[in-house]
Amino acid sequence: MKVAIYVRVSTQDQTVENQILRLTEFANSKGWEYEVFSEVMSTRKTRPVKQELLAKLRKHQFDAVVVFKLDRWARSSTELILDTKELIDKGVGFISVSDNLDFNTAAGKLHFQILSAFAEFERSLISERTKEGIYRARNNGKILGRPVGAKDKPRRRRSGYLLRMAGERQKADQAKGQHKALDEYIR
């Protein structure tokens, strides 16, 4: 089996060496072939190594991805659920060594379903709190949305424009010797 080992730290002051040591030992003990993908100094929005790895996993270049802990793969439960669900649906395994989770096994699938339920519950709570905050703000007289700006001026009526353009076309035609009623130019 060929696996991708993904390790990540958030700052340059931290090291991925501990994760690599544990994960390569794990892969060697299973007799797996592996490639290490190391992400250093990642932010919430930019993780190019992870994106590169996801592209390779989507092309089935690896049978599974192995991480040290779930929080090394994703920064939120929603991200974790979405990413792992995509991988599982594509037949790519997901293994978290420290959490002792293998989403290919029956127990791992159960854990995944429980994690999914908690992530959905968390999203629902956030939505409810947001709606309550908006309701409270409106009751306190707060005007929501972006401030009115220059682009919010009412649109000019086009009727004057259409008449003016029709008149110009009529005059041009009259200069050529063609005479039509003004209403024939308005369409």
> Strand locations in 92-177, DSSP E?
93-96, 101-102
| Segment 71-93, tens digit of pLDDT | 888 877 778 888 888 998 898 99
Which sign does the torsion angle of CA 122, 124, 128, 134 carry? Answer: positive
| Segment 42-52, tens digit of pLDDT | 666 678 888 89
Concatenating the DSSP letter of every residue in 74-116 gives -SSHHHHHHHHHHHHHTT-EEEETTTTEETTSHHHHHHHHHHH
Residue 95 to residue 97: CA distance in whole angstroms:
6
**What single DSSP character describes residue 180?**
-
Catalytic residues: 10
pTM reported for the whole predicted model: 0.61
Q: Sheet of 93-96: strands edge to edge?
A: 33-39, 2-8, 64-67, 93-96, 101-102
State both tokens at 87.
């991988």
Instruction: Determine the distance from the C-alpha atom of residue 49 to the mean position of all C-alpha atoms in its chain, rounded to a whole number.
Output: 16
First to last CA, the chain: 70
Residues of the chain with pLDDT under 70: 41-45, 156-159, 187
What is the model's pLDDT at position 145?
86
State both tokens at 54.
């996801």
What is the model's pLDDT at position 23?
93
Residues 95, 99, 105, 108: what is their CA dihedral angle, to the nearest 10 degrees? -110
In order of start, what are the domains of the chain with their CATH numbers?
2-119 (3.40.50.1390)
What is the model's pLDDT at position 42?
64
